[in-house]
Structure 1
Amino acid sequence: MEGKLTMAPRLERFVSPGKGNGLRAAARIRRGELVTTAEPLACCVSNKLARDVCHQCFTRCGTLLRCSQCKMARYCNVSCQKQAWAGHKRECKCLRSLLPRVPTDSVRLAARLIFALFSSSKSSSAELYSLDEHESHLNSMSEQKKQGLSQLASMLELYLQPEVPDPTQASVLPPSCQEALSLIAKVTCNCFTISDGELQEIGVGLYPSLSLLNHDCRPNCVMVFEGTKLQLRAVRDVNPEEELTISYIETLSLTEDRRRQLEDQYHFTCHCQRCDSHDKDGLMLSGEESTWRPLKEALPRLEALKAESNWQVLLESCNQLLSGDGGTVPIENLYKLRILDMALDASIHLEQWDKALIYGVETLKVYRRFYPDPHPVHGIQLMRVGKLQHYLEHIEDALNTFREAYKIMKLTHGDDHPLTIDLTMKMEECRSEMDKQSFSRQ
């Protein structure tokens, strides 16, 4: 798998003041424009979804063919299985040697990177940012974190034994990556989460040149995926020589929580305009603390129920919280919004469509305020609510919601993304159903 980046002359590497390397616009980029696309140098499906997602094309499927040897890799059809074999054969041998243990996502990704470099005949000189230059951040890590990474490095060495007995002898690796600890650190700090159409995590991948993109809590670009292909799109107009930024994390959280997460995961303190001004923190903590604190304290338990797919208990718990004192908490409150979102998820899984629609409509009132720029999360939420309205035959409401989603998604995903195509078909269905209704009334 070659880490190819479709580079436009609109994009150039530069040194960003206070941030190190970065990417900036070499020409004017308009809002909604596709800045660049990239294929991963290496990628893998997340362990927790290994049974549900094709390991070649990253499509979710009800039934998948399983590799008869390692029993882990799964494919949607024989064609995907054949295409995957060149990259999977080394991995297959390593997976078999560790059974019944399964290495973590980062260990599998680091190994796949080595295998990709072994089988790559092409030069990666087209990359703006080489693997050798990637930061490992080992010097700025706590001892505890370093210890955790050392355990992963030991697991990587053990896992690679059947194929690469001594990584330091692997001439395909740049010198700074030949030590397992350095390689694991670089992979964990620089990999991207690959998400599906619903923005749910399905895997991890390395896109070397796009690791140059710096973070901003209100970025001017967003990333969406089509399979494993990464698309970078501008969500605001960008002037020549202006830095291109993305958000490394979900931005719908308090400044102190965003900063803590960025420090823990990426080893820097964010000083973007939004963090320095504590923008929207007051709105996210709307209401009396005595009424919203129980909602905040309940979140870890609710998230555990969601992780276990215990939808019935999750919905009952959310309902209880939202109908007690939580009912008086303003809807803009971050903790109330999170509980509404979980209640929406649980209602959809339990096929309680009317209830799901009530929760979905409530969340949209707040999403508009928290996502001032076109944002994939807002577009997907609108699409989900539109589908509920359509299913419950609120056709006119559904069409209006789909139109609002389209305004966002034509900018964040582009007109030719499968999800945007699906959305335009939904709008067409609504229009034709409305035409039939008006015809039958005549």
Structure 2
Amino acid sequence: MKNNFKLSDTSVKAGDLLLTEKPFVYVLSSKEKGLRCDNCLQKLKVLKCSGCQFVHYCGRVCQKEAWSGHKWECANLKRVAPKIIPDAARMLAKIVNRLSRGDGHTYRAYYTKTSFRMWKDLMSHYPDLKQDKKRMDHFTSLCMVLFEFLKDISLPNTVELMGMYGRMVINSFTILDIDMNSIGTGIYLASSIVDHSCDPNAVATFDGNTINIRAIQDMPNLDWNQIRISYIDLLKTPYERQTELLENYYFLCECDRCFGDIQMKILHAAKCPNQKCDNPVKISWKDCELVRKPKDESEKNGYIKENGDSNNESEIEQSECNNISEIERDGECSACGTKCTEKDIEVFKKAMEFTEMHLQKMKEKQEGVLHPLNVMHAQTLDHAFDALIQVQLWETACLYAEKLIPCFKFYYGERHPLLGLLHLKYGKILLYKMDLSKALEQLKLAEQILNITHGDRHPLYKEQLLPLLSQAMLEC
């Protein structure tokens, strides 16, 4: 795929395509087996490979295109049948094969006209892996599968294989469909240069197995050292985000969003008893950390080296649920001065404990008790909204969508694919209900976001959003 690379000295506008790339290796998730083409990853009618009877293709074009990479795997899959090879083992096997018998060691993935990344440039975090029992157990199990599966390839020694495994787990991207659901895993060498932030200025979306990285903020120029995407779901507490990043990528995130006062006040906040006041109220409901503090300087330096973000130079105090702000008083609104009664506090604690245990079930105990942007309340709304769509309870789904939109804006930001999808889903429901003016409003909001995050040529924009938008405009 030919790339029209953006020059580093030109300004970047929100929506600009910074990089598009095909994967170095990739696998379709086993849960999508028989539903999608193993080559283009599109969901349509597929037929089994006549050789291995395991992979599926949508037609001869995709089968022919995939054959050079599949022929070695085809024989091995057929030999071990009916055993199912785990996705991670298939992925690692594809890496071994490309490095052993292909162009894996010499392949260059360009992110500018002159700058590129190669397989050897990916970080393996070998020392961290050796200390990670969970990952080492996983690696051991994969080795056992590979020894049985790859009879036709001489496997590298344990150190080399572990380096391959490390590069795989650290640098893999989850491939998403147009609804932002996981459908596979891929390694994209050039795209792996992009580091993480909980307040990203770019976003990665997928069209089949092609990754597209687009800016979601205006920038004075293109500096790849400053481009950030989010590696994780942002609808979580800073502590949960930091823990996930530590466990999966071995660095502690110290971005402004993780340590910012605004999120800290909202995350586990109660609603002010004064119905006319929207200010969050702090109530201590249990001892729990909302953010991680670096244990030592080496851990902090590890983050800076990995993420290239060393702007946070001030000392950061550890924040807990009962220590968000010295100014705030427990159970008292700092804006209007309203104090929570003992009953208010008891109801709040029960609602938080209930929500923590039953996050997937929306209950009336939350309404009017938890702050509308409380992270647990937001997570519950998200789960409930999807469930309501599944059972086609459109009226209730609309009520939940209205409450969920400000939550998504707060946690994901104003320009995020999930916020765009939420507006699209809400607009589609309203169009079905013939609430045309509101449908048009939501679809226009979806268009503003998805045009930036996906571009006007993406199937989600062209094939799903535009027809709905045209229909709403015609019928209004």
TM-score category (smaller protein):
0.7 to 0.9
Residue 475 of structure 2: aligned partner: 433
Q: Map 1:123-272 to 2 at 5 A.
A: 123-127=106-110, 128-141=116-129, 142-155=131-144, 157-167=146-156, 179-240=160-221, 241=223, 243-272=226-255
The Cα of 1:133 is off from its aligned counterpart by 2.2
Assess if the C-alpha contact under 8 Å between 1:255 and 1:278 holds in 2.
Answer: no
Instruction: Indicate the percent of aligned positions where both proteins have the same amino acid.
Output: 26
CA–CA distance in 2 between the matches of 1:85 and 1:133?
28
Shift of 1:60: 1.8
Question: TM-score, structure 2 length as denominator?
Answer: 0.76
Secondary structure of the structure 1 residue equivalent to 2:190? helix
**Which of the pair is proportionally richer in helix?**
1
Q: Are positions 1:372 and 2:413 aligned together? A: yes
SS of the aligned residue for 1:35 comes to strand
Residues 153 and 180, structure 1, Cα contact 8 Å, conserved in 2 = no
Matches within 5 A, 1:346-365: 346-365=387-406
C-alpha deviation, 1:159, in angstroms: 4.7
Q: Distance in 1 between matches of 2:2 and 2:200?
A: 21
Give the paired residue count.
389
Contact in 1 for aligned 2:92/2:165 (Cα 8 Å): yes
How many angstroms apart in 2 are the aligned matches of 1:9 and 1:358?
43
Superimposed CA distance per residue, residues 75-96 of structure 1 (whole angstroms, 9 cap, x where no aligned partner): 2234323322222221122223
* Equivalent position amino acid for 2:53 in 1: K
CA distance in 1: counterparts of 2:416 and 2:374, whole angstroms? 20
- Aligned position for 1:307: none
CA contact (8 A) 2:266 2:373 kept: yes
Contact 1:156 1:180 in 2 (8 A): no
Please state how far the C-alpha of 1:424 moved relative to its aligned partner: 2.0
Q: What's the counterpart of residue 390 of structure 1? A: 431
* 1:50-129 equivalence runs, <5 A: 50-61=33-44, 63-117=45-99, 118-120=101-103, 123-127=106-110, 128-129=116-117
Shift of 1:104: 2.4
Q: 1:262 to 1:396 in 2, by over 3 A?
A: same
- Once residues 151 and 327 of structure 1 are traced to their aligned partners in structure 2, the CA distance between those partners, rounded to angstroms, is 50
Asked which structure has the greater CA Rg, the reply is 2
Instruction: From 401, 410, 413, give the equivalent of 2:442.
Output: 401
Whole-Å separation in 1 of the counterparts to 2:159 and 2:36: 31
Unaligned runs of 5+ in 2: 111-115, 271-347
**C-alpha distance 78-358 of structure 1, shift in aligned 2 (>3 A):** farther
RMSD value, Cα: 2.4
Q: Which amino acid counterpart does residue 108 of structure 2 have in structure 1?
A: S
Q: What code does the residue aligned with 1:203 have? A: G
Output the CA distance in 1 between the equivalents of 2:403 and 2:376: 14
Indicate the residue corresponding to 1:6 in structure 2: 3
Instruction: Report how far residue 200 of structure 1 moved.
Output: 0.5
Deviation string for 1:370-427 (max 9, x for gaps)? 3333111100111111111111111111110000111111111111211112312211
Q: Distance in 1 between matches of 2:356 and 2:92?
A: 37
Among 272, 292, 304, the alignment partner of 2:352 is 292
Deviations 1:26-82 (A, max 9, x none): 542112111111111111111222232211111123x42122333321222343233
Instruction: Find the counterpart in structure 2 of residue 19 from structure 1.
Output: none
Maintained 8 Å contact 2:19/2:191: no
Alpha-carbon distance in structure 1 between the residues aligned to 2:175 and 2:390: 23
CA contact (8 A) 1:107 1:155 kept: no
Whole-angstrom CA distance in 1 between matches of 2:54 and 2:196 = 35
Deviations 1:331-388 (A, max 9, x none): 3122222222222222222233333223223212322333333111100111111111
Distance 1:326 1:71 in 2: 52
The CA deviation string for residues 235-254 of structure 1, in whole angstroms up to 9 with x for no partner, is: 11123346111111111211
2:80, 2:60 → 1: CA distance? 26
Q: What is the TM-score normalised by the length of structure 1?
A: 0.81
Q: Cα gap change, 1:295/1:42 in structure 2, threshold over 3 Å: closer, same or farther?
A: same
**d(CA) in 2 for partners of 1:250 and 1:374?**
14
Going from structure 1 to structure 2, the CA distance change for 1:325 and 1:402 (only over 3 Å counts) comes to closer
Alpha-carbon distance change, 226 to 138 in structure 1, aligned in 2, over 3 angstroms? same
One-letter amino acid of the structure 2 residue matched with residue 254 of structure 1: T
Q: In the alignment, residue 244 of structure 2 is paired with which amino acid? A: Q
